[in-house]
Amino acid sequence: MIVVTLSLAELAANAPPWEPFGWLTVLLFGLGILWHWQGSIPMERLFSSLGWLSLAVLWVVMVPYFFFEARSPIQAVLVTLAIPLSVWAGVVRWRGREQLFVFSKVVTVAGLIYLTAYTIEPVRRWLIETVAAQTHWLMGLFGHSPGLAPGPDAGYLSLFAFDAHTTYIVMACTGIGSISIFAGAILSVGGSPGRRLGAMFLVSGLIYGLNLLRNVFVGLATPLGWFSFEPFISVAGVFGVEATRASFFISHTLLAQPASLIALIALLVLSVRLVPELFTLLDEIVFLLTGDEVDLRAEIGPKLLGEDPGSTTQMAD
């Protein structure tokens, strides 16, 4: 008998209704792109700036959730920092910085990928159940095959049927968020379409595979109680997490999330090596944070890409 089930779905059930803000943000940025194609830069600036403000509102709505419901320090800090950065990006675009337009494409593409997967029920079911089945198969390689059962998340076949505290897969466990961001960035910059598509599929596949390993780690650590003893129980208690959830909290929030962040940084480096045009996005991020004009490809490109010093030519297609 399943005693207690733990997963991000329990948290998602308490999450604020962010989807309308997500679609509004994508709509505003998309309209900005259409105006840009029509050659109306003032209208594009207006809608892009509004898109950034809508994105900031979305982050504001999500901050209390990450702090008090999810109890995720990393996500809470990142979302909090994203609020002023989004507002500032809207101000800078309104003032006419043309280079920021590429982020309109990034947000639109990434948003469409994520929201399509999240809001279209057949796609959502297929993705969740596929990830659950593959995670369960990998668990079997480590000697644990509890079977799959319908989970509380719409009854999808996603719950690992351990006779103990256990977990089940939801959208946040599929890696679609990170995949959509990397895909949006890679597809929105210049360069050979073939090279960009190849990089997108490679990086997306790596994210998907690493995410499965993360699911296996959390999915086994929770029912087997890998961290259900001191000092881990006390550490979890500092964040207001009861002892019965300590193993899940330690494995998922304090270990898997930082490891995922490190992995994403490594994948960013790989992506830049495959698609050097991504340096344009990094340049703009530095500008938003510092106000300084930089050319990171000229500064670190030779070492990172193996180019001749001083070369900023495009990679051969």
What pLDDT does residue 70 have? Answer: 61
**At residue 284, does pLDDT exceed 90?**
yes
Average pLDDT over residues 238-258: 89
pLDDT for 168-182, tens place per residue?
Answer: 898 888 999 999 999
**At residue 235, does pLDDT exceed 90?**
no
What pLDDT does residue 16 have? Answer: 55
Marked catalytic residue, from 45, 124, 214, 245: 214
Marked catalytic residue, from 173, 196, 245, 297: 173
Average pLDDT over residues 125-143: 95
214 catalytic per annotation: yes
Sorted by where each begins, the domain ranges of the chain are: 102-305
173 catalytic per annotation: yes
pLDDT for 71-115, tens place per residue?
Answer: 667 778 888 999 999 999 999 999 999 989 999 999 999 999 999
Give the residue, 267 or 21, on which the prediction is more confident: 267
Residue 158's φ and ψ, nearest 5 degrees, are -140, 0
> To which residue do tokens 């990086």 refer?
203
Q: CA-to-CA distance for 219 and 44, rounded, in angstroms?
A: 46
Residue 135 · residue 215 · CB < 8 Å? yes
- Per-residue pLDDT band for 277 (boundaries 50, 70, 90) equals very high
Distances in whole angstroms, Cα of residue 101 to Cα of each of 31, 88, 281: 12, 14, 10
What pLDDT does residue 69 have? Answer: 67
**At residue 191, does pLDDT exceed 70?**
yes
pLDDT for 153-173, tens place per residue?
Answer: 778 999 999 887 888 898 888
Q: CA-to-CA distance for 298 and 2, rounded, in angstroms?
A: 57
Q: CA-to-CA distance for 132 and 170, rounded, in angstroms?
A: 9
